[in-house]
């Protein structure tokens, strides 16, 4: 493709990538497909685990580094901000440097930064290397997924995406569980050191088996302005979402400034990228109605899924006293159910219709949320088993078919940009979901507490009877009558708070289910529910 012919049809002017391209011979194109899938999925899992693994180690880091909670939060925020900035750029970077070189270098950068995070002796150095780690990790989702679309024959694309999907779903679940186990048995630096041997293995496999795409094209110049606008837009949005609840949202001047900066830079980014010949993000791929609908559903899926994933551990740990390890074990069966479902969906993807499977998955997700919403203070962790199994099966029915169908109309050369947008919207949807659910959880709890408190008064016979019963029980165990009454009031107040929390969690679960169901009309925008493996017009 010449740069003149490309410009003639209104697409970016690109030059064919030459010189260092490492393209697999046609006869061997699919020879190492499973090894490629294992390599890129391992890299993606490491990236996803590191998004959440630090959360359980934050108290240990604070004590070891002498940092406040606000200061240590940048260990998470810096990683995620760098990550979401790089994700939409990964298609351009992959083409510019060559997919094999870019993916291998990104993994090695991630590994080196992981080691330096573990070796950091100050907060500043830890945050710096977490930012570098996030920048390296940004390539490990979109580039990996785009690689798998080409590593498998068209009729087996669903299998490759299913392997990747299992990692994407299991990774966030393993993070807190693995982090809790490491911190309990070793020390917090090992949550980073564990990446080193696994990352080196992934890098060696990628360097050995992954090849550059035959269609690979490279921009003739670097879109510096596009990069700066992208970093400003996504960085300010992610920072706003991370800090919004803590600073009471738009009552804070900082949050207001971040919101205005995000909107303004997005408008400028969109205008610049649509008018430049060599954009760092090719928004033109959204001319595909299929992709536009798919990334919209991915954003809503991220919002509903990550919002519910965020609140469940809080429910189990705060109200039922479970540890991080125990919480992980409660959640694990659902993740395994998701993995099994994805394996089945991947194997049968050629005859499945994404419009049907996504709708069925959303219904199962809603049913799962409905069951979780009916849990009470007396409900034990065992009662989450079937709701989480349903949620896992539902997500397994959604992820692979939605991804494949969203990319169905794209040229092979557009896959990297398409997967970049898909992963970015899902990631940002997840960040938005966590921010919204955290805010609503606080507000719902306050509302329910006030409502329950209206009925628990000294004028209510049932409340007085309850107070007297608890007081007499404490006196019978040797407490002073005056102290016993104070303790009884404290216990009743705590019970009110716990009950208010249960009602708040119930509303959050129902809201998560409704949000996902509400996006189903977008499926009518799909021209086909078949994935790329079933399409005959591959370019």
Average pLDDT of the residues of the chain: 80
Using 50, 70 and 90 to split pLDDT, how confident is the model at 22?
low
Kindly state the average pLDDT of the residues 433-441: 81
pLDDT at 280 exceeding the cut of 50: yes
168 closest CA partner among 293, 54, 302, 74: 302
Specify the CATH class of 281-539 in words. Answer: mainly alpha
Count of CB atoms situated within 10 Å of the CB of 59: 12
Kindly state the average pLDDT of the residues 505-522: 90
pLDDT at 27 exceeding the cut of 80: no
Task: Give pLDDT, residue 531.
Answer: 65
Return phi, psi of residue 531, to 5°. Answer: -85, -175
Using 50, 70 and 90 to split pLDDT, how confident is the model at 182?
confident
Residues of the chain above pLDDT 90, percent: 14
Kindly state the average pLDDT of the residues 368-386: 83
Task: Give pLDDT, residue 5.
Answer: 38
**How many whole angstroms separate alpha carbon 221 and alpha carbon 488?**
72
Using 50, 70 and 90 to split pLDDT, how confident is the model at 460?
low
Domain boundaries, the chain: 25-222, 281-539
Kindly state the average pLDDT of the residues 184-188: 81
Task: Give pLDDT, residue 538.
Answer: 40
Sequence-distant (6+) residues with CB within 8 A of 72 are 58, 61, 62, 65, 123
> Helix, strand, or coil here: 268?
helix
Task: Give pLDDT, residue 458.
Answer: 63
Using 50, 70 and 90 to split pLDDT, how confident is the model at 16?
very low
pTM: 0.79
Asked if the domains at 25-222 and 281-539 fall in one CATH topology, the answer is yes
CATH topology of domain 25-222: Growth Hormone; Chain: A; (1.20.1250)
- Torsion of the alpha carbons at 23, 27, 28 and 31, rounded to the nearest 10: 140
> Helix, strand, or coil here: 217?
strand
**How many whole angstroms separate alpha carbon 340 and alpha carbon 347?**
11
Q: What is the 3-state secondary structure (H, E, C) of 365-410?
A: HHHHHHHHHCCCCCCCHHHHHHHHHHHHHHHHHHHHHHHHHHCCCC
Using 50, 70 and 90 to split pLDDT, how confident is the model at 410?
confident
Task: Give pLDDT, residue 215.
Answer: 62
Kindly state the average pLDDT of the residues 299-322: 78
**How many whole angstroms separate alpha carbon 19 and alpha carbon 303?**
43
Tokens for 298?
């991915």
**How many whole angstroms separate alpha carbon 55 and alpha carbon 73?**
9
């Amino acid at each position: 493709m010449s740069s003149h012919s490309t410009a003639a049809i209104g697409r970016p002017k690109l030059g064919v990538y030459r010189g260092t391209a490492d393209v697999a011979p046609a006869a061997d194109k699919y020879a190492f497909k499973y090894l490629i899938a294992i390599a890129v999925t391992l890299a993606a899992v490491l990236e996803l685990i590191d998004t959440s693994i630090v959360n359980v180690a934050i108290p240990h880091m604070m004590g070891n580094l002498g940092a406040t909670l606000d200061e240590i939060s940048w260990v998470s925020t810096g990683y995620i901000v760098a990550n979401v900035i790089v994700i939409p750029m990964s298609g351009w970077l992959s083409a510019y440097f060559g997919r094999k070189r870019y993916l291998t270098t990104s993994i090695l950068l991630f590994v080196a930064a992981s080691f330096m995070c573990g070796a950091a002796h100050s907060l500043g150095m830890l945050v710096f290397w977490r930012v570098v780690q996030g920048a390296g990790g940004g390539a490990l989702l979109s580039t990996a997924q785009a690689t798998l679309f080409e590593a498998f024959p068209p009729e087996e694309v669903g299998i490759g995406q299913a392997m990747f999907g299992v990692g994407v779903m299991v990774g966030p679940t393993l993070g807190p569980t693995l982090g809790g186990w490491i911190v309990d048995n070793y020390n917090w630096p090992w949550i980073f050191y564990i990446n080193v041997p696994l990352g080196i293995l992934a890098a060696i496999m990628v360097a050995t088996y992954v090849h550059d795409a035959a269609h690979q094209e490279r921009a003739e110049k670097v879109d510096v302005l596009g990069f700066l606008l992208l970093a400003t837009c996504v960085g300010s949005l992610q920072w706003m979402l991370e800090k919004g609840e803590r600073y009471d949202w738009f009552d804070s001047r900082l949050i207001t400034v971040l919101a205005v900066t995000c909107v303004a830079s997005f408008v400028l980014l969109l205008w610049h990228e649509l008018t430049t010949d060599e954009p760092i993000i090719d928004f033109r791929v959204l001319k595909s109605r299929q992709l536009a609908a798919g990334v919209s559903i991915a954003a809503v899926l991220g919002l509903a899924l990550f919002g519910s994933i965020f609140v469940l551990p809080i429910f189990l740990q705060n109200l039922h006293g479970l540890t991080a390890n125990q919480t992980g074990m409660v959640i694990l069966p659902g993740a395994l159910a998701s993995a099994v479902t994805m394996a089945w969906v991947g194997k049968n993807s050629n005859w499945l219709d994404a419009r049907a499977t996504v709708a069925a998955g959303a219904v199962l997700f809603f049913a799962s949320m409905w069951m979780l919403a009916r849990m009470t203070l007396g409900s034990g962790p065992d009662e989450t088993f079937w709701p989480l199994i349903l949620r896992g099966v539902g997500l397994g029915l959604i992820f692979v078919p939605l991804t494949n169908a969203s990319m169905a109309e794209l040229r092979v050369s557009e896959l990297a940009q398409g997967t970049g947008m898909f992963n970015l919207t899902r990631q940002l949807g997840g960040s938005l979901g966590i921010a919204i659910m955290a805010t609503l959880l606080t507000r719902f709890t306050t509302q329910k507490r006030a409502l329950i408190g209206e009925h628990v008064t000294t004028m209510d016979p049932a409340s007085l009877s309850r107070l007297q019963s608890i007081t007499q029980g404490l006196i019978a165990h040797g407490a002073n009558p005056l102290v016993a009454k104070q303790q009884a009031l404290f216990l009743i107040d705590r019970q009110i708070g716990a009950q208010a929390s249960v009602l708040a969690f119930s509303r959050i679960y129902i809201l998560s289910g409704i949000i996902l169901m509400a996006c189903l009309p977008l499926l009518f925008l799909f021209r086909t529910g078949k994935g790329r493996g079933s399409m005959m017009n591959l370019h």
